[in-house]
Amino acid sequence: MHFDTLQGWLGWQESLHPITIDLGLERADEVFAALNPKHIKPLTITVAGTNGKGSCVAYLEAIYKAQGYRVGAYTSPHILKYNERIKIDGIPVADDKICDAFARIESVRAGHSLSYFEFGTLAALDIFQRADLDIQLLEVGLGGRLDAVNIVDPDIALISSIGIDHVYWLGDTRETIGREKAGIFRAGIPAIVGDPNPPDSVIQTAVDKHAALYCIGRDFGYEKHLPTWDWFAGDRHIGQLPEPALKGEHQYRNAASVILAIELLAGRLPVSEAAIRSGLAHVELAGRFQLIEGDHVPILLDVGHNPEAVRTLVDYLGAYFPGKRIHAVFSMMKDKDIKGVLDIMKPVVYHWFFAPLSNNTRAIAEAAMREIFLQSSMRNVSFGYADFADAFSAAKGQAQPGDLLLVFGSFFLVSDCLNEFDKGELTK
């Protein structure tokens, strides 16, 4: 099978495998062995976590780029274009390079039925292996132990946080989820945990695998002296660091974990304190507490879609937007803990606007959403909109100077929002 366009390849991949999310390493590992029989790889940092893994990859990318290294970063999902998933030196890889990688994968697939995510992971690894990188950064898609990214042995394994999400695939307790995420650990390889209260299963997995475990609050940490902060690990100390450009208290934990990873690899890939400072100050990541100055009210975008992420969002709103009336344009996937998210957000949202997500079978339907709002005794909720743009327009019409428009609950929702901004529709 061969296609001349990226959309052609992606459309075919979506129909090839019968299960959208199909965890397991055997299929991808066998194809990768045929694609790269010598298993040649750049220096590798693999990042897992319920929340924060995208931020950690963004910090690592920004810091290594500031040092002048050639960096590959594989992340998911994308927000605007598929190419965002595979970047070299911060620039999304062009369509033709991804298509060429897909063609190489297809030529050695030998009948293995690969999922959409497995195709993307293999393409990223193939492109990175050919790109003369100094380091590759791999974000786990879901879990860790059985995620396709885990076919590559990392030189550093990092877990940003452990919360309840993807319960159908990972389990419904932090212990079971932690065990899945700790599947990226390897014997003798540094395993960094940025969760201040990691489940026992993470610690035990590190022991069982003989990984070199580093836990925040025990083996490394940070201390804030606003507007600066200090990082430390043992007798190593970096002082007066700039506030992370990504906002929220959790970003200090993410940044601290990233600095430890960089320090542990410094023997092979030295990084100056100046590069660390530059990366922290200039990192960018769409959809994470992303503030857009509107024509009469500010607009805050956040992809948070589980209770842990939304608790962080509430803390951020209280710290940076105290006293503002918040008009929330909201939608979620039906497999998420929607009621849990609503219960957390209920005290801070003044008016809800449900935005249906078109052409997404995972998105919750309006009828089901009405029932959940009813169960949560939520008032001031508006339904009946055709799409995101319609819901946003209604929210914008209700907002007054001094209010805040909040778009949150799903990567897909934030994607719809940024697409509308890109077309100039939301500024009319």
Residues 6+ apart with CB under 8 A from 393: none
Over pLDDT 70: what percentage of the chain? 96
The pLDDT value recorded for residue 167 is: 59
Ranges of beta strands (E only) in 294-416 are 298-302, 326-330, 351-354, 381-382, 404-408
- Topology of 6-282 in CATH? UDP-N-acetylmuramoyl-L-alanine:D-glutamate ligase (3.40.1190)
The pLDDT value recorded for residue 123 is: 98
The pLDDT value recorded for residue 169 is: 58
Confidence of residue 217 (pLDDT cuts 50, 70, 90): very high
The pLDDT value recorded for residue 334 is: 87
Per the prediction, the chain carries an average pLDDT of 93
The pLDDT value recorded for residue 426 is: 62
Asked if the model's pLDDT at residue 19 lies above 80, the reply is no
pLDDT in tens, 405-426: 999 999 999 999 998 887 765 6
DSSP readout, 133-179?
A: -SEEEEE-SSSSTTSGGGGSPPSEEEE----S--HHHH-SSHHHHHH
The pLDDT value recorded for residue 336 is: 86
d(CA 361, CA 339): 19
The pLDDT value recorded for residue 296 is: 84
75 exposure class (CB count in 10 Å sphere: 0-12, 13-18, 19+): buried
Asked if the model's pLDDT at residue 377 lies above 60, the reply is yes
Please answer whether residues 267 and 156 qualify as being in contact, where contact means their C-beta atoms are separated by less than 8 angstroms.
no
Q: If you average pLDDT over residues 376-386, what whole number do you get?
A: 91
The pLDDT value recorded for residue 427 is: 54
DSSP readout, 42-58?
A: -EEEEEE-SSSHHHHHH
Q: In 3D, which of 253, 252, 225 has the Cα closest to residue 239?
A: 225
The pLDDT value recorded for residue 425 is: 57
Please report where in the chains the tokens 């909201």 appear, as a residue. 330
Q: If you average pLDDT over residues 225-249, what whole number do you get?
A: 95
DSSP 216: B
The pLDDT value recorded for residue 18 is: 66
Please answer whether residues 223 and 252 qualify as being in contact, where contact means their C-beta atoms are separated by less than 8 angstroms.
no
Stated as kind and residue range, the H or E segment containing 288 is none
Which residue spans of the chain are classified as CATH 3.40.1190.10?
6-282
Q: In 3D, which of 300, 296, 303, 412 has the Cα closest to residue 349?
A: 300
Q: Which residues of 199-230 are buried (b: 16+ CB within 10 A; e: fewer)?
A: bebbbebbeebebbbbbbeeebbbeeeeeebe
Please provide the size of the chain in residues.
428
pLDDT in tens, 183-200: 999 999 999 999 999 999
- Helices then strands, counting H and E runs in the chain, come out as 15, 17
Which residue spans of the chain are classified as CATH 3.90.190.20?
290-427
Asked if the model's pLDDT at residue 105 lies above 70, the reply is yes
Confidence of residue 20 (pLDDT cuts 50, 70, 90): low
The pLDDT value recorded for residue 232 is: 98
pLDDT in tens, 133-149: 999 999 999 888 889 99
d(CA 424, CA 286): 17
Please report where in the chains the tokens 């959790």 appear, as a residue. 250
Asked if the model's pLDDT at residue 164 lies above 80, the reply is no
The pLDDT value recorded for residue 21 is: 64
Question: Which residues, listed in sequence order, are joined to residue 43 by a DSSP beta bridge?
Answer: 135
H helix intervals, 321-379: 338-345, 366-375
- Topology of 290-427 in CATH? Protein-Tyrosine Phosphatase; Chain A (3.90.190)
d(CA 206, CA 163): 18
Ranges of beta strands (E only) in 141-293 are 156-159, 190-193, 212-215, 221-225, 228-233, 236-242, 290-293
260 exposure class (CB count in 10 Å sphere: 0-12, 13-18, 19+): buried
The pLDDT value recorded for residue 355 is: 95
Stated as kind and residue range, the H or E segment containing 220 is none
Asked if the model's pLDDT at residue 240 lies above 60, the reply is yes
pLDDT in tens, 257-312: 999 999 999 999 999 999 999 999 999 999 999 999 877 899 999 999 889 899 99
d(CA 418, CA 313): 19
Q: If you average pLDDT over residues 312-319, what whole number do you get?
A: 94
The pLDDT value recorded for residue 423 is: 73
Helix (H, G, I), strand (E, B) or coil at 290: strand
Helix (H, G, I), strand (E, B) or coil at 121: helix
Asked if the model's pLDDT at residue 428 lies above 80, the reply is no
